[in-house]
Amino acid sequence: MKSDIELKQDVADELKWEPSVNEAHIGVTVHNGVVTLTGHVPSYAEKYGAEKAAKR
C-alpha cells in the first residue's frame, strides 16, 4: 500500500498531465489513504477532469 506522500504525488502528477485541468487551481491532501481535492475551477468539465485524473 502506498504512503500518503506517494499517493499525493501520484495524484498531483496525474493532474499535471490531464489536459482539461489547470492544476494550479487544485490542492491535493491525503490522510490515511483518503484523497481530498480542494480549490475552484471555472467549469464542470474541469471538475470532472480533476476527479477522473485523481481516480487513475
Residue type, 8: K
- The percent of residues in the chain predicted with pLDDT above 70, rounded, is 100
Percent of the chain that is helix, strand, coil (3-state, to 5)? 50, 20, 25
* Model confidence pLDDT, tens digit, residues 8-20: 999 999 999 999 9
Residue with cell 500518503: 4
How many independent structural domains does the chain possess?
A: 1
| Crossing angle of helices 44-55 and 4-17, rounded to 10° | 130
Full domain range(s) for residue 33: 4-55
pLDDT of residue 8: 97
Cell numbers linked to 24: 494550479
Q: Is the pLDDT of residue 1 over 90?
A: no
User: What's the pLDDT at 10?
Assistant: 97
Q: Residues 39, 35, 6, CA angle at the centre, nearest 5°? A: 115
Q: What is the mean pLDDT of the chain?
A: 95
